[in-house]
A and B are shown apart, each in its own frame.
Chain A
């Protein structure tokens, strides 16, 4: 098993055969096909491999994106795993590397090491209700899992997408959320923390969306992604509604460098986010997660 194909035994996923890159430390060249400004500080880069070889990936997996001469950062893949010829990455411009990536124009080149990390266990969730709980840019790593689940809609029970953003202007993938909401076979709830009078949607914290129910607490798998404080409250509220930690998965976005379990930069308790994550079953990390200093 190479590092690229690493999945946990409890997360059966199609193994990634024929790893496109034998040396996981060596970036491949990708060309920027399109740049979409999603909201004021967040954009999506659609990347295509220069050598034309598709990159099969699992929902939840990440790439290491290298902005030439600036640096490399981990970013989750946000596109549809059904189309491995294009990899999208939805990025919030916060610092040196992410801002350099924000400046790229279509046609520019990026160094990419991909795919890495444990996926969302979408196949293992078949037969259950699936609850996606996303906050802010955290909806991006969930999106490939949403695509995958919707592609096989009949294999799942109720599907809920619960999403919170700071203001209406910060809502990512607005058109897509609207499209999903217009379907009869899933439930989409969106809330914001702050709004002016022109917003007719909900105002309140994202955890309140869980209160709305619509899932069978004994048979629900929850996929949670967002900043850590949001995930902490999210997990508590899911627990209050009967979803136990062994059916909750979260992504840990602790910063990583090597992505192959060598450097220890992303250590989180006994786990290395790059080697054992970024998707963790919550009961496995609950103790560490509760320690605020880690």
Chain B
């Protein structure tokens, strides 16, 4: 197996790409690379240009906001099978929070510009991927609302 075959296999394993055909996956390999981050490393930083799309293969990433004087506030943790960030897809193409590796993290990382171009050229690929991402966004929105609800405080009857 070549390194490219390995990459294609890994892309095929990521849940976010489950709807894509083998040749769509092969196309994605053109803008993908495997990365690893040590615990504590920062993958994305609030305010910085969003140039990468991450699919987490291993480990845990905390999405954080600096909230003085409380220090860093963790909004959510992501793990294997989750994707990190869609700011590369929507203006102003800037990250809205920090993403920090809590453990050793391995990712499939995609060059956002290349991915965006692919999605424009192959609109079937673009549609399928976008549909998956919108589903993820909707789930995140629901869970964020649930977190705001404060589920654990019983309401009096």
Contact = CB atoms under 8 A, between A and B. Distances in A.
A143 B116 CA distance: 50
Given A165-B152, A255-B157, A205 B70 contact: no
Interface of B: 60, 62, 64, 70-77, 79, 100, 102-103, 143, 146-147, 149-155, 157
Contacts of B143: 204-205, 207-208
Contact of A193 (B71, B151, B157): B151
11 contacts: A138-B152, A165-B152, A166-B153, A193-B151, A194-B73, A196-B70, A196-B72, A197-B72, A226-B152, A227-B153, A230-B152
Nearest to A195: B74
Given A197-B64, A254-B157, A227 B151 contact: yes
Closest 6 CB pairs of A and B: A136-B152, A197-B72, A230-B151, A227-B154, A195-B74, A203-B74
Q: Range of interface residues on chain A?
A: 35 or more
B146 A135 contact: no
Contacts of A46: none
Contacts of A164: 151-152
A207 B74 contact: no
Interface string A228-258: 1110010000000000000000000111000
A198 B77 CA distance: 13
Contacts of B154: 94, 136, 227-228, 253
Given A193-B147, A195-B74, A207-B146, A135 B152 contact: yes
Contacts of B64: 197
Given A193-B152, A203-B75, A230-B152, 5 more contacts: A135-B151, A197-B100, A200-B103, A229-B155, A233-B151
A170 interface: yes
A199 B151 contact: no
A200 B102 contact: yes
Contact of B76 (A94, A204, A207, A233): A204
Interface string A196-218: 11111111111110000000000
B142 to A, nearest CB: 9
Contacts of A138: 152
A101 B50 CA distance: 54
A273 B75 CA distance: 37
A202 B70 CA distance: 19
Nearest to A201: B77
Contacts of A255: 157
Given A205-B146, A207-B146, A208-B143, A136 B71 contact: no
Contacts of B103: 200
Contacts of A226: 151-152
A191 B143 CA distance: 13
Contacts of B62: 197, 203
Most buried by B among A94, A204, A233: A204
A228 B155 contact: yes
Nearest to B80: A212
A289 to B, nearest CB: 14
Contacts of B152: 135-138, 164-166, 170, 193, 226-227, 230
B30 to A, nearest CB: 31
Of residues B79, B151, B157, which shows the largest number of chain A Cβ atoms within 10 Å of its Cβ? B151
Contacts of A254: 157
B74 A196 contact: yes
A165 B146 CA distance: 13
Interface in A140-171: 164-166, 170
A226 B60 CA distance: 27
Interface string A277-288: 000000000000
